[in-house]
Amino acid sequence: MFSTGARVNRSVRETGRRTLVLGLPQASADSMGLFLGPVHPVLRGSTRVVLEVEGESIRAVDVQVGFLHRGFEKEAETVPVDQIFSLVERMSPLSPLLAAFGYALALERLFDVTHLVPVRARLLRVIVAELSRMADHLTCVGTTALALGASNAFFLLMDARARLWNLLEAMAGPRLGPSYLCVGGVTRAPTSSWVADLRARLPPLRRLVGRAERMLGGNPVFRERMAGVAVIDRAQVAPFGLSGPVARASGVAVDVRKDAPYGDYESFAFDVPVGSAGDNWDRYAVRMEEVRQSLRIVEQAARELGAGPLRHEDARWSLPPKAECPTPHELSPAHESLVFDGPRVPAGEVYQPLEAANGELGFGLVSDGSARLVKCRVRSPSFAHAAMLAEVLPGHFVADVVPAFASLNIVGAECDR
C-alpha cells in the first residue's frame, strides 16, 4: 500500500469500460487494482486476470494472455509434417490425443485419404478421443470442486480420471506426448486383455461419476457458488466465437461431432446436452452429462472393435517392408528423401474442425507441395473463452473469479500456442 503522496511509474490500458493500471495495484479513494496470475494457486494455466475492485465488488476486468506462447504455428512451418504431431500434443496437456486427432484429420484431407483410414483405426481413434474428453472434463469439474471446498467430490473425480488415464497409458503410451495417432491411422494395436479391461471398467466409472455428481448436487455451498454466477447469454455465443460446453450451457446446441461429423461419429448414438441459464452451474452440468455420453460412445465403439489393419499404408509417408528393400541397409532415393526430408504434402488448403473437450479446435493447413507446411493455423476455443471473463465478471465478487475461471476451463498452452 502506498502513501497518499507516493508516485509510481505505471502503464495503463483502455478496456472499453475504464482505464486499468498495469503496474502494481495502488489504492485510491474508491477502487484499487488486483492482480491474479499468470501463476496463481487457484487459477489453472497461465492467464493473468487484472481486476479493478471496489471493496469486494469487481468493477472492471482485463484479461491478459500469451504468457505461455511457444510459437507453435511458426515452428510447424520448419519441421516435417509427421513431426508436428509431438508439437500439437503439447497444446493440450490434459487431452493431447484430441489435438493430435484434429491434426491427423487435416493432414489426411490434404492427402485425400480420409476414406481410406481402416475401420479398426477409426474406432480406436474414437475410443481414445472420448477417454481423453472424459479425463479433461473430470479435471475441470474436480478442480472447481476443490477450489470451492468440496474435497470429497474432488477425490472421487480424480479417482475416475486416474482410471481413464491408466487405460490410455496402457493403449497409447505416456500421458503427455504419446504419439499414438499418425497419418492414415494409429501406431499401436490394443491387446485382447486391454479391450476386455476397457469393457469391464466402464460400469464402475459410470457409478463413480454418478456418486460424485450426487455429492456436488447435494452440496448447498457448491450450488450457491455456481448457480447464477458468470452468466453468458445465448446472444453472446456467436459474436464471441464460443463453442463446446460453454456454448451449449447457454442454450446453443453446437457440436462438431454432429454438425460436421468426422471419424465415423455419425454412426454412434449420443445426445448433445444443452443448458439454459448459461451460468457456472449449467457449464458444470453440461460437462457431467457429456461424460455419460462419452461413456455411451466408448461402449458402442468397443462392441464394434475387431481385427483389421491399423493404418492405411501409402508410399508417400510409409517405408516399404524390409523384405522389399534391395538389401537390408539400402533404400531407394525416394525412400531416403522420405526419411530425411519427410512426406511431401500435396498442394492445397484445408480447415478441419474437431470437437475437443473445450470446444471447436480447428486446424487450417496450407501446403505448396513440399515437405514443409506454408501455414499451420490453429483455432483455439480457450482463446475465445478467455475474452468472456471481461464480460461476465464485472458486478460479481472477487471470490467469484475462481469458479468462473474454472468453468470456462481456459487451457494456457492451447490458448497461447
Render pLDDT for 217-236 as a digit per residue (tens, 0 to 9).
888 888 888 888 888 889 98
Q: How confident is the model at residue 320 (pLDDT cuts 50, 70, 90)?
A: low
Residue 57 falls within a domain, yes or no?
no
User: Under 8 Å CB-to-CB from 9, ≥6 apart: which residues?
Assistant: 23
- Measure the CA–CA gap between 122 and 127, rounded to whole angstroms: 9
Reduced to 3 states (helix: H, G, I; strand: E, B; else coil), residue 318 is coil
pLDDT class of 202 with cuts at 50, 70, 90: very high
Report pLDDT for 126: 93
In a domain? residue 256 = yes
Q: Encode pLDDT of 30-49 as tens digits.
A: 777 777 777 777 677 778 88
Residue-level pLDDT at 311 = 83
Quick check: bond before 38 cis, omega within 30? yes
Q: Domain holding 173: CATH number? A: 1.10.645.10
* pLDDT at residue number 331: 59
Q: How far apart are CA 36 and CA 43, in angstroms?
A: 8
In 3D, which of 1, 5, 24, 57 has the Cα closest to residue 396?
57
Contact by Cβ (8 Å): 55, 38: no
pLDDT at 2: 30
Q: List the grid coordinates of 193.
A: 486383455
Query: pLDDT tens across 78-117, in order?
Result: 888 888 888 888 888 888 899 999 999 999 999 888 888 8
On whether residue 353 sits in a domain, the answer given is yes
| Residues 142, 146, 150, 154, CA torsion sign | positive
3-state secondary structure of 218: coil
d(C-alpha 368, C-alpha 372), whole Å:
8
Domain interval for residue 392: 72-315+341-407
Task: Quote the pTM value.
Answer: 0.86
Residue 416 lies in a domain: no
Please check whether residue 251 lies inside any domain of the structure.
yes
For 254-285, write each residue's pLDDT tens digit: 989 999 999 889 999 999 999 888 888 999 99
Residue 52 lies in a domain: no
In which band, very low, low, confident or very high, does the pLDDT at 164 lie, cut at 50, 70 and 90? very high
Count of domains for the chain: 1
